[in-house]
Amino acid sequence: MPERSGAVLSALATARLGGVLFHCMAGRDRTGQIALLLLSIVGAEPEAIVDDYLETVRRADQRAATSGRAHEGASSEALCRSMGTTTEGAFRSALAGLDLAALLSAASLTDAELTALRTWRW
């Protein structure tokens, strides 16, 4: 559903100056997807993108404790194992399979929005 990712990217690209916070419940699923896209758009190295994601995974216990929410890492990892992979492996596969040009085209972002994302508006 590139239109959903496109809507988020458009909102980030057109946000007022001062910073933007984007998040989801666990901070690694929808947030991880958008961070993957943003980092890919600016040309971050794949290993840096993976490390950014894995930092979120590494801090899951701390985030769950401070938010008062259950940590669902074990169930996510079990699901990945049942599919013959790991959380890291699934993320690496998503990154490797990303066709950024096709996604951005399907997301219907404007040239101005793409420029803003590529340059972080600076």
Q: CA-to-CA distance for 49 and 61, rounded, in angstroms?
A: 21
Domain boundaries, the chain: 2-11+24-66+73-119
Q: What is the pLDDT along the chain (122 residues), one digit of tens a residue?
A: 788 999 999 999 999 888 788 777 666 678 889 999 999 999 999 999 999 999 888 887 776 677 777 666 677 888 889 999 998 999 999 999 999 999 999 999 999 999 999 997 55
How many Cα atoms are found within 13 Å in the side-chain-facing hemisphere of 93? 9
Q: CA-to-CA distance for 51 and 55, rounded, in angstroms?
A: 6
How many Cα atoms are found within 13 Å in the side-chain-facing hemisphere of 4? 5
Q: CA-to-CA distance for 5 and 32, rounded, in angstroms?
A: 12
Are 56 and 28 in contact by the 8 Å Cβ rule? The answer is yes
Tokens at residue 118, please? 């590529």
Tokens at residue 59, please? 């801090």
pLDDT at residue 32 in the model = 86
Q: Which residues contact 34 (CB under 8 A, 6 or more apart)?
A: 5, 8, 9, 12, 22
Tokens at residue 84, please? 């013959």
